[in-house]
Amino acid sequence: MLQDPSQPNPQSELDAVWDAVQRELRSEVTEVTFHIWFQPLEPAALLGGTLFVRAPEHIRTWVDERFRPLIATAAKRAGAALRGVQVVDADWAAPATGASDSPTDELHKASTGLNPRYTFDQFVICDGNRLGHAAALAVAEMPAQAYNPLFIHGKPGLGKTHLLHAIGNYIMAHEKGAKVLYLTCEAFASGLAEGRANGGLAGWRERVRGVDRLPLDDIQFLAEKMRTEEEFFHTFNSLYESGAQLVIASDRKPRELGVLEARLQERFEHGLVAELEPPDFEARMAILRKRARIDSIAEVADETLAEVARYVNASVRSLEGALIRVVAYASLRGELATPGLARQVLERLYPRGDRATLYTMEQIQEAAADLFKISRAQLLARDRTPRVAFARQIAMYVTRELTDETLPAIGRGFGGRNHTTVLHAHRRVAADMANDPQTFEAVGALRARVGERSADRA
């Protein structure tokens, strides 16, 4: 039967969106990165404004956790009006239009902003996060009854975002009809600004204030947005008074949120405040074993995992990233991921171990200027020449890895840049390190230079 030319062709629309996304991705990453991580992907469906992308099993987790925001950004730059991107199994199939309630369920899940990969089952419990995990599970099992709000705080990379998604995913699986919406503070602010600009503020408020459960991430950014803070105050009150569950994550305690109004700080402290702390060695080993099992990296022996656990101790994110780099380096060289190879890779990346409080942003900038033979003023200026831009991205990446500075603070420290610029730099360098020897060498050299200069001053 011929397609009615007057009717839209979903497959043609999907192909056109994906072609545009691929063009944007090719311009954004190295050819090697594109070939390894993006070329195997296939467009699966467009449902409710969400692009579903199929990925082979051996790269799906890495693509979902590290590259999904990059794919979404590429789609936005390509002009696609998408709500989000979901990375799915290679054998995933879009639900039939007339099939029971499957399409509704898929669209509902797509509109929640939740990452289905983050569940309680995938979370490794240790002494440093036991309270946070128990509180999150209690909130998921008894929303708005156990602790409301639940405020989870801790340094970057310790699992705050994982717990927020786990709460939402648990509620979606066990509470039929519940309206869950995961938002970052940046997404909250962007939605508010867009609503004000296009006259859709009432609709945006109805969407946000009409949910039953609201996990909100990176609340520390709210302190820099006065108009957004006022809106959030009223949103918080509206949801709380309606019996909705609020779960909030931050990189610091409520009382340490700078200029945030006292009335908001008091509301955050009204429920339970739970801190996440860095995992100990045994917990780091458990995290690495689980990561290896999820990613089907069976050839990595416990001795190699132990080397990674000894070198990296600041965050779960750095720990998992270090494992991926060791495995990628071994794969590129056609070797086994042995303890010796792990030491070779990690000694250059983490010369003294990943101790987040060891260095300052200024020390890293000075070391970067010295290493790349440029001035610190050039590093912080709007100079976009390739050599300076590369040095700046490497310095931003290392700053985020070796300090406690937030994304906005790093952006301000690098010449008043937006925090999204820092995030983009970190993601790009992290992706290139697995495939581009020049980037890998540059990061290792800067870490070593920072360590040397710090030792000289000690």
C-alpha 283/C-alpha 160 separation (Å) is: 16
pLDDT of residue 356: 42
> Which CATH entry fits the domain spanning 120-276: 3.40.50.1000, 3.40.50.300, 1.10.10.10, 3.40.50.920?
3.40.50.300
* Greatest mean pLDDT range, 114-118, 184-188, 378-382: 378-382
pLDDT tens, position by position, 294-313: 766 667 888 889 888 888 87
Digit-coded pLDDT (tens) for 386-415: 889 999 999 999 998 777 677 888 888 999
The pLDDT value given to residue 114: 84
Determine the Cα angle at 446 with ends 444 and 448, to 5°: 70
pLDDT band at 94 (very low <50, low <70, confident <90, very high): low
DSSP string for residues in 163-179? HHHHHHHHHHHHSTT--
Amino acid symbol at 32? V
Name the residue among 126, 129, 54 with its Cα closest to residue 87. 54
The mean pLDDT value for 277-305 works out to 82
pLDDT at 3: 40
Judged against a pLDDT cut of 90, whether residue 134 lies above it is answered with yes
pLDDT of residue 455: 52
Q: Dihedral angle at the C-alpha atoms of 294, 296, 300, 303, nearest 10 degrees?
A: 30
- Look up tokens 């980037």; give the residue: 439
> How high is the pLDDT of residue 5?
43
Eight-state DSSP code of residue 214: E
pLDDT, averaged across the chain: 81
Architecture of 361-457 per CATH?
Orthogonal Bundle (1.10)
Domain boundaries, the chain: 10-97, 120-276, 281-349, 361-457
The domain at 281-349 falls in which architecture? Orthogonal Bundle (1.10)
Length, in residues, of the chain: 458
Write the pLDDT tens digit of every residue in 20-40: 888 888 877 766 677 778 888
Percent over 70 (pLDDT), the chain:
84
- Percent of the chain with pLDDT strictly greater than 90: 17
pLDDT beyond 50 at 320: yes
What 173-177 contacts at long range (C-beta under 8 Å, 24+ apart), as own/partner pairs, is 174/140, 174/141, 175/143, 175/212
Domain 10-97 in CATH 3.30.1780.10:
no
Q: What is the mean pLDDT of residues 334-351?
A: 80
Residue 431 or 455, more confident: 431
